[in-house]
Each structure stands twice: as structure tokens, then as C-alpha cells.
A and B are shown apart, each in its own frame.
Chain A
Amino acid sequence: MTNNHFDVFVIGAGPGGYVAALRAAQMGASTGIVERHHLGGTCLNYGCIPSKALLSSAEMLHGVRHARQWGVTVDGPIGFDWQEITQHKNKILRQLRGGVASLFKARGVAHLAGHGTLDARGRVRVTPSDGPPQTVTADKVILATGSAPIRIPGWPDDPALVCTSDEGVHWTALPRRLLIVGGGVIGCEFACMMQAFGVDVTVVEMMPGLLPTLDHDLGKALLAIFKARGITCFLDTKVEDVDVASGNGAIKTRLSSGESLEFDRVLVATGRRPNTDDVGLADAGIPTDKHGFVPVNDHLETAVPGHYCIGDANGRCMLAHAASAHGVAAVENALGRPKPFESPIPSAVYTFPEVAAVGLSEREAREQGLPIAIGRFPIGHLGKAMAARHPDGFVKMIRHRETGQLLGAHMIGQNATECIAAATALLHQNVSMHDVAETVWAHPTISEAIKESAEDALGAGLHLPPRKVIRVPVPA
């Protein structure tokens, strides 16, 4: 190693870290990055990408099974080849990891393999799995160490039986009966996907609705769809006990609602915790909060100047695209282009139909005491949705009654994760609901529902019955 000092050094090459490193190199900084595992982090290896590879097969299978609805007949048995599906997934992952490596090469980012820990401010010790440790120094350090799925203490730890999404996206064989603990984004995506592959799925969620972090109407709509597909959902319910000792491979569980149910496999999807234990934060004097997240200011800088923390590890928003956006912002701040990070970040849930949201939910707006008006539009009213036989879902838009400002957009329906991009772009520009309604949307599309719902929020919908008018005599 000829050079062991960098302008910018990044710990962790997930979607936050690798993008940060590329941006730093693009801005002319000498840049190094350390990754202890595969390039691409959780997103590429255990999250977004492998799950989407599996989902594409699941959705296709769902479509073929329901092909008759489209007037399409399929002769012979309908099945799937799990091995082929996982091979495709693994091939995509290899391809994308190779892509990150070649981007590093093209931009001159020094990629070190090993475990990176801070051993002082501006100094990182890199310990490879098969060699002597080395130390590098840097003017600016970016922590992008990501997060890991939470495992429930006291539960059996055999990952063949009680797993997390880390194992779930790489199952070599599917269970017959699956318990999913947690009805959040990951739980719902797995439930939807596994049901399509013929697995008997049960979801247990402690909160009163699915997708509890999103607008409650989304979880309600998804629940109805899940129930219609035969996914069993227990809400307001806890899994009290998990017992693998019976010997015949069956996992016995007891729920707080009193049910005792048997499964072949349990997937724990109750959340993620930051990877901040073994990064040497204490040695650099960087504090963490009680959950282990590294607090940062609006410039993504930690309490220690020149040390930034992005993505899952700072706890602001545990999504890959948030990490990437943080990465760019942190680098720009580090390299003298100070600008606070305040962009709205969309959420995307890859069930089918998809769920997506950006901005304030109804509950959040209420908690802030904002005077809001809500617009809704059922996707089933759209010509495109009817013609393409994807009538499920709705769009819900939230507007500030006094300023007219667009506050949030929430959507469930086919292609919702793509449609939300339009709402995100508008929200990023801080526009009014009039701007959304005035924008011309292509017809026939699913995204038209955003315009329709904006019009409804203004009390000016054309494809809905007139908004409810309450007539009140005064003086009352």
C-alpha cells in the first residue's frame, strides 16, 4: 500500500457508503473505502435486490395462477423451479457487486477488504480476514456501517428454523408453514412473496395494523388484500413462545391471543438495529443514543467534527435511497459545499399491489396540529386499472388547508413505487396542491390517480361525486 492517507475514508460499502465514496472521488478527493463483506451492503446482498429478484418470480407466478382472469389459459400444472429462481438472483447479485467494484476502479477509489474500525479521530484500522491489520488516516471519515436484523433474545437461534431476512432471501428450500413475526415492510413483502410460492403464511403484528409506520389506511387496504389471498394475520398480538424441541421439525408457538400454532419456519421481521458496536466509536469519542444510533446534525456530521454518519447507522431513515442521498450530502458537506439535508424521502413496499408513500401521513399531520384536507381517489375508478385488471388500491393526498401546500402522498396499487416518484418530485419542490392538480398526467396511467386525488383534496374532483357538503344553519 503506497498511500495510507485519504481526503475521505468511508467505512462500509452499502448503498450509502459506496455512493459517498464515488461522489468524493468525483469531487476530486483521494478516497478510500473499507468493507468487511460483499460490496453493496444489505441492499444489494440481503435486502432490496435479492428480494426483488424473488418477488419478480412470485408476482409472475401469481399472474399465471390467475391467468384465467385475463382470458389466458395455461395448460398443464403451474409450478416453479426454486433453483432456477435463486440462480437468477445470485447471478444478479454477482453482477451488481462487480459493477460497484468497477465503478470504484474507474473513479480511483481505493477499496480495502476487511473490518474497519476507528481507533482514533481520523484514523481507521483495517483488519482483513486473512492478513495483518493496517492503519489508514483521513481528513474526513464517513461512517456507513448500516444495520442488521433484530433477533429476539431467548428464541432458538438455529437459522434454519428461526431466521431473519438475511437468511430469508437466501433460503435454498421453502417452508410449508411460515410464521412471520412483524407486519412491517419486510414482513409484508415476505408474506406476499411466500404466499405466491404456495407457502401457508401467518403474520403476527404487535401493532393494530399492518405497515404501522405508514399512513394507517395503507395497512388497512393491504390487510384486506392479504386476507382475500388466504394470508392469516393476527394484529395487536404478540408471539409469546417459540418451541423447537418437539423433534419432528415442527415449531410450536403460542400467541398472546391464546392460539397455539405449528410452523416449519419462523421469520423474525421486527426491525433492524445499527451496526455500531464494533466500529471503535468510543475510541474516536463519537457518542451513540440508547438504541446505538449515531446522532448527526442536519449536515450529517456527528458530534466529532469531520466525522459523518449516514444511512441506517444514524437512524434517521432506514432505507437504501436515504443512505445514498445522505452519502452524497455528507461528502458535499465534508468537502466544503455545506448544505443541510432536508429532502423528503419516499417509502416503497414491494408487495403486489405495491405500497408507496412520501411526506406526512394523516396521523403525523394531525400530531403536528396542522389544518389538513384529505383527498382520496380509488385506483379502481381509472380506465387503465380497469382495462389492465389491477383495480386494487387508492391514492390519498394531504394538503395544508391554509397554505394549500402538498404535505403528503400515500398510495397502494399497481406500480405505486414508480408512481410515487412524481409525488416525491413535487413535494421536493414544496409545491401547492394546485400545482399537482394543474400538472398534466398521461392517460391512461395509474399515476393519474395522484392528480385525481389532488383535485379531491381541493374539493374539485371531476371523476368523483361532488365532495360532501355539510349544511349548517347559523346562528345555530
Chain B
Amino acid sequence: MQSIILPQPADGVNAATVVRWLKRPGEHFSAGEALVELEIEDALVRLEASQSGTLATILAEARETVRVGAELARAEGMSVPAPQSEPETTMTRQPSETSGPPTTGDPGNVTPVLMPQAGNTMEEGIVVSWKVAEGDRIEVGQILCEIETDKATIEYESPDAGRLARIVAREGETIPIKQPIAFLADNDADVDAYLAAQGTTAAPATVPRAASTAGAVAAGAETRPSAGSPPVTAEGRVRASPAARKVAQQRGIDLASLGAGSGPGGRILATDVEKAKVAAAVSVDGKPIRRPMRKMRRAIGLNLQRSKQTVPHFYVRMTIDATPLFAYYRENKPRTNCTLNDCVVLAVGRAMAECPEVRSQIDGDEIVEFPHANIGIAVGVDDGLVVPVVRNVDSLTLAQLAVEAKRVVENARNGKLENIGLGNFTITNLGMFGIEEFSAIINPPESGILAVSALRETVIVEDGAIRPGRVMTMTLSADHRIVDGLVAARFLGRLKEILENPGETLT
């Protein structure tokens, strides 16, 4: 494999932008043939092969700016020695972004196959056609499907080996990068458990078994509303001005949902996006607006509806004197950069260490007790929520937890959920919005969820005397199949004790 590096095309030029590739991966080129055209400020640059070879991988797609000396592509069969320590991975062979270490316990070994990010600017891709079917054994490097990005259509090589248990992205469907398009697993049930545990992933779509036929494409393709559809380029990209894209991105508006714009040929202009925003806020004629649920909403809905309807919830509420907790938080904040929620998570972890029922999951007729407190933290994201899990909270210090919680939450916001399915308890905190108390729905198969409310100043009555202080109300929703009222009361009582004397336990 040889690297094709951008040479300096002219004096004083330190970067160039790819205009187009004249050869595609897999295509043979002979000596003297032009491979790629780039532009600099005042000229075009055409890179010509000095000897024959085959283009293997393109690393800089059209419209990407590349610095002189950077790798543009890789080629095979050229007689120039490859540069040293060349990385093995290629663009289409994305490193697997599986969530957490694979465990052999429950839920079984499930590896999501994620929409790859082919190029820095790629935000989503369209699954054009599947080359494999559910149930197939997949080898590393085997072509799974064709993916159309805003720039090119690429063949997606599997980053992992295993049995393709479930395809969740239908042909013709647009999926954001780093979201699952399929799952590898030995058992279909494991995928179900995985999806249920995640609570936020795509609901499984029914895919015709005979994939990659024209009929399947037609059957599986999502149909867009036909009236006033936005103009789409041959590459499937909605035609819109750069300003419109910018505004849409800022406002979180899907350009494809806007219909034809007012620009030439229906091109969407910034003003159209502005108008759409107003339209989204108030419908013009007072009629309600109907729009399909997005995937994340649908998944949240299904998971929580199932939980609320099938899990026997009961609720235990307690208000604690949070004056010591607040003092503890203020004292440790400079050292650990912790949040108030971290302090609560840590305390819950300590209480769970003493309460095996709460460190448990339910699995059919069995109760699975975990050795450690694995706590999910509910994180609100655009149009939904995700619950990344911090493992072994009972054995972490505040400083360690602060770092770990920050990491998993940030990863979750960026689309990477950690330790999915390993949680045995969840904490949801609406305190920052001033909520005084609320109760939450359990994230199955966990034992319970703690709804943490705002820390607020109030009058505290103690030994017949009143004093000003801070209190916080916490509501435990528990699954009665695992946790009884007595256990719940003891657990909350212990938690109260820890939170009211944080200096003693939360070291």
C-alpha cells in the first residue's frame, strides 16, 4: 500500500481543497494519468500518477482542504516503498465503536454496527443496499452494504466478525453517523434485550430477507411526502444555500422536512428556514401540526410504555436536610470539579453496596444480583434522552466518579453510549430546573430509579426549633418484583444518612 501525499504545488501554498477524484477506489490507473483535481487560491492542481497502480482508498473527499504533506489516498501496486508504520485501518474500515466491554453474561454479546463517518463533514448516510442478510455469518472486512454520503457512495466493510442478527436501517433510510444500522449477536433475543436496555435505539425495522434486490429497495425505501418536496441533487443532497444549512443546523431543523424553498429551482434559502421556524412554533391557521415521531422518540416511548405497563412500580419519597451535602459539594468542587449530581450518585452507590436487592436486574423469572453498583445517569439530548452507565460506583472515590461521569455523559451526548445493559439502577435529576419533586419510570430491567429534585432553601424544624437550611426531595421508583417496601425504605433511609453526613462516608 502506498500513500499518495499532497506535494507543494507552488511556492507559498500550504494547503489545497479537493475538487474531484478522477479515479475511484478499485480503479486502475497508468503512469501519467490524473488521479485527482484540487484547487488553490488561483489555480487548479492536477496530481498525475508517476507510475501505474490501483487506487485503494480515498482519504480526502471533495471539498475537503488538505495541508501539504498530508495523505490524500492510498494506492496499491505502485513500486514505491510504503511509508513506515502505515496504519492498517482504512476509511471504510471504521474501528468498532461497540459500547463497553463485551460481556458473556446478560445481555449476551451484542455488537452494534454503526453508520461510519467517512470524512469530517459527514453527518449522516443513506443505506443504499444491503449485501448481506440477517442470519449471515460476517467476516471482518466483508462488505455489508453500500452507503451513500453527501459526497460519494462507499462500500462499508464490516469492522467486526459475527452473526448478523438484526438489520435496523432499511434500504433508502438516512441514519446519522455513529448510530446503529445493524447488530451482530449470536441470539436474536440478546438484541431485543440490548435494545430494551438501551431504551433509545432504533426500534427494529422489518427488512425483507432477500436484500439487495431492486424490489427490496422499493419496498424498504422510506417515502417522503410528495407535495412540495425539497429539490434533491443526484447525490441525494437537499439543495440549499450554505446560509440555510447553517441556520438549519443552529436551529436543529431537518432541511429535508422543509419542502421546496423559494430559491431558484426550489433551492432552500436561509429565509425559508427562518420561516419554517416560525411555522413550527405557531401554525398559521390555528390548526394543530402533525409530524411523525422521530426514531429516538419512538424508542423512548416504546420502552417506557412497556415499563410503566408491565413493571409493578411503587414510589417512596423522602426529603433530606441537604445543608451538609451542599457544604460537602462546595468543599470538594475545587479539588474534584464534581457536580452536585456526582455527590448524589456517589452516595447512591454507597447505599447500593449495602443493599443487594437494589443492585439487581430482573430477567424473566430470575433475579440477577450484581456484585457492584452500576448506575445509569439520565442525560437529556436533542429531542430525547439517553442513559449512559457508570460501572462500579460503589468502589470509586468522588474524584474518580467526577471524571468518569463526565466522560460517559459527554460520550453519550456525542452518540456513544457506554455500558448499555449493565446498569442496575438509574438516577435522574431535574434539580437544575428547580423541580421540587417528581417520580420517574424505571428503565428495565433495572431495580429502580431515583428522581432527584432541586436543592432548595427552607425552614427546617428540628427538635421543636426552627432554623434556615437546605432540603432536597428524592423519590424512589422501585420494581416490586425485586424490591419490597421495607427494602426501599431501608435503602432510602441509608441514603439519607449518607447524604446528611457526607464527610463520613463519601471520602
**A interface residues, Cβ below 8 angstroms from B:** 371-374, 376, 400-405, 429-432, 435, 438, 459, 467-476
Q: Which residue of chain A has its CB nearest to the CB of B45?
A: A470
Nearest chain A CB to B479 CB, angstrom units:
49
What A residues does B49 contact at CB under 8 A? 473-474
How extensive is the interface on chain B, given as a class? 35 or more
Task: Check B17 against A402 for contact (C-beta < 8 Å).
Answer: yes
Q: Which residue of chain A has its CB nearest to the CB of B3?
A: A475
Q: Is the interface of B mostly helix, strand, loop or mixed?
A: mixed
Question: Once bound together, how far apart are the Cα atoms of A152 and B213, in whole Å?
Answer: 81
Q: Is B331 an interface residue (CB 8 A)?
A: no
Question: Once bound together, how far apart are the Cα atoms of A467 and B65, in whole Å?
Answer: 19
Nearest chain A CB to B264 CB, angstrom units:
7
Nearest chain A CB to B429 CB, angstrom units:
33
Supposing A468-B43, A470-B43 touch, asked if A475 and B48 sit within 8 A by C-beta, the answer is: no
Mask of B9-47 contacts with A, CB within 8 angstroms, 1/0: 110000101010000000000000011000111111111
Listed by A's residue number, 6 A-B pairs whose Cβ atoms lie within 8 Å are: A430-B270, A431-B243, A435-B264, A473-B49, A473-B50, A474-B4
Task: Check B78 against A475 for contact (C-beta < 8 Å).
Answer: yes
Supposing A402-B63, A474-B48, A475-B2 touch, asked if A468 and B242 sit within 8 A by C-beta, the answer is: no
Nearest chain B CB to A272 CB, angstrom units:
33
Question: Once bound together, how far apart are the Cα atoms of A209 and B7, in whole Å?
Answer: 34
Nearest chain A CB to B262 CB, angstrom units:
11
Question: Once bound together, how far apart are the Cα atoms of A430 and B267, in whole Å?
Answer: 13
What A residues does B45 contact at CB under 8 A? 469-470, 472
What A residues does B246 contact at CB under 8 A? 430
What A residues does B64 contact at CB under 8 A? 402
Q: Which residue of chain A has its CB nearest to the CB of B47?
A: A474
Question: Once bound together, how far apart are the Cα atoms of A473 and B51, in whole Å?
Answer: 9
Task: Check B241 against A435 for contact (C-beta < 8 Å).
Answer: yes
Q: Which residue of chain A has its CB nearest to the CB of B43?
A: A468
Partner of A473, one of B42, B48, B243: B48
What A residues does B80 contact at CB under 8 A? 475
Partner of B47, one of A401, A404, A472: A472
Partner of B241, one of A371, A429, A470, A472: A429
Mask of B59-83 contacts with A, CB within 8 angstroms, 1/0: 0000111000000000000101000
Task: Check A403 against B43 for contact (C-beta < 8 Å).
Answer: no
Partner of A430, one of B15, B46, B243: B243
Question: Once bound together, how far apart are the Cα atoms of A371 and B10, in whole Å?
Answer: 16
What B residues does A400 contact at CB under 8 A? 242
Task: Check A472 against B48 for contact (C-beta < 8 Å).
Answer: yes
Question: Once bound together, how far apart are the Cα atoms of A372 and B5, in whole Å?
Answer: 21
Q: Which residue of chain A has its CB nearest to the CB of B265?
A: A438
Nearest chain B CB to A290 CB, angstrom units:
34
What A residues does B15 contact at CB under 8 A? 371
Q: Is B197 an interface residue (CB 8 A)?
A: no
Task: Check A429 against B3 for contact (C-beta < 8 Å).
Answer: no
Q: Is B402 an interface residue (CB 8 A)?
A: no
Q: Which residue of chain B has its CB nearest to the CB of A402?
A: B63
Partner of A431, one of B5, B43, B48, B241: B241
**B interface residues, Cβ below 8 angstroms from A:** 2-5, 7, 9-10, 15, 17, 19, 34-35, 39-50, 63-65, 78, 80, 121, 241-243, 246, 263-264, 269-270
Task: Check B243 against A468 for contact (C-beta < 8 Å).
Answer: no
Q: Which residue of chain A has its CB nearest to the CB of B81?
A: A475
Task: Check B10 against A459 for contact (C-beta < 8 Å).
Answer: no
Instruction: Given A374-B41, A469-B44, output 8 extra A-B contacts at Cβ < 8 Å.
Output: A373-B39, A373-B40, A401-B39, A402-B64, A403-B63, A404-B242, A430-B243, A470-B40
Question: Once bound together, how far apart are the Cα atoms of A405 and B270, in whole Å?
Answer: 13
Question: Once bound together, how far apart are the Cα atoms of A471 and B43, in whole Å?
Answer: 11
What A residues does B263 contact at CB under 8 A? 435
Q: Which residue of chain A has its CB nearest to the CB of B264?
A: A438
What A residues does B44 contact at CB under 8 A? 459, 467-470
Task: Check A429 against B243 for contact (C-beta < 8 Å).
Answer: yes
What A residues does B46 contact at CB under 8 A? 469-472
Supposing A430-B270, A473-B49 touch, asked if A403 and B242 sit within 8 A by C-beta, the answer is: yes
Task: Check A371 against B7 for contact (C-beta < 8 Å).
Answer: no
Task: Check B242 against A475 for contact (C-beta < 8 Å).
Answer: no
Task: Check B9 against A472 for contact (C-beta < 8 Å).
Answer: yes
Task: Check A474 against B7 for contact (C-beta < 8 Å).
Answer: yes
Supposing A401-B17, A429-B269, A459-B44 touch, asked if A474 and B35 sit within 8 A by C-beta, the answer is: yes
Nearest chain B CB to A469 CB, angstrom units:
5
Question: Once bound together, how far apart are the Cα atoms of A190 and B10, in whole Å?
Answer: 41
What B residues does A371 contact at CB under 8 A? 15, 17, 65
What A residues does B121 contact at CB under 8 A? 402
Question: Once bound together, how far apart are the Cα atoms of A376 and B43, in whole Å?
Answer: 12
Question: Once bound together, how far apart are the Cα atoms of A473 and B50, in whole Å?
Answer: 5
Supposing A432-B241, A472-B9 touch, asked if A467 and B43 sit within 8 A by C-beta, the answer is: yes
Partner of A401, one of B48, B65, B242: B65
Task: Check A470 against B10 for contact (C-beta < 8 Å).
Answer: yes
Question: Once bound together, how far apart are the Cα atoms of A475 and B6, in whole Å?
Answer: 9
Task: Check B241 against A476 for contact (C-beta < 8 Å).
Answer: no
Question: Once bound together, how far apart are the Cα atoms of A366 and B270, in whole Å?
Answer: 26
What A residues does B41 contact at CB under 8 A? 372-374
Nearest chain B CB to A360 CB, angstrom units:
13
What B residues does A373 contact at CB under 8 A? 17, 39-42
Question: Once bound together, how far apart are the Cα atoms of A192 and B416, in whole Å?
Answer: 65
What A residues does B34 contact at CB under 8 A? 471
Question: Once bound together, how far apart are the Cα atoms of A403 and B65, in whole Å?
Answer: 11
Question: Once bound together, how far apart are the Cα atoms of A459 and B20, in whole Å?
Answer: 13
Question: Once bound together, how far apart are the Cα atoms of A472 and B10, in whole Å?
Answer: 10
Nearest chain A CB to B54 CB, angstrom units:
14
Question: Once bound together, how far apart are the Cα atoms of A401 and B121, in whole Å?
Answer: 14
Question: Once bound together, how far apart are the Cα atoms of A21 and B188, in whole Å?
Answer: 72
What B residues does A432 contact at CB under 8 A? 241-242
Question: Once bound together, how far apart are the Cα atoms of A227 and B364, in whole Å?
Answer: 93
What A residues does B2 contact at CB under 8 A? 475
What A residues does B3 contact at CB under 8 A? 475
Task: Check A476 against B42 for contact (C-beta < 8 Å).
Answer: no
Nearest chain B CB to A294 CB, angstrom units:
29
Task: Check A405 against B242 for contact (C-beta < 8 Å).
Answer: yes
Nearest chain A CB to B238 CB, angstrom units:
14
Supposing A402-B63, A469-B44 touch, asked if A429 and B270 sit within 8 A by C-beta, the answer is: yes
User: What are the nearest 3 A-B pairs in CB distance?
Assistant: A430-B243, A401-B17, A468-B43
Question: Once bound together, how far apart are the Cα atoms of A429 and B264, in whole Å?
Answer: 13
Nearest chain A CB to B266 CB, angstrom units:
14
Question: Once bound together, how far apart are the Cα atoms of A405 and B5, in whole Å?
Answer: 27
What B residues does A469 contact at CB under 8 A? 43-46
What B residues does A474 contact at CB under 8 A? 4-5, 7, 35, 47-50
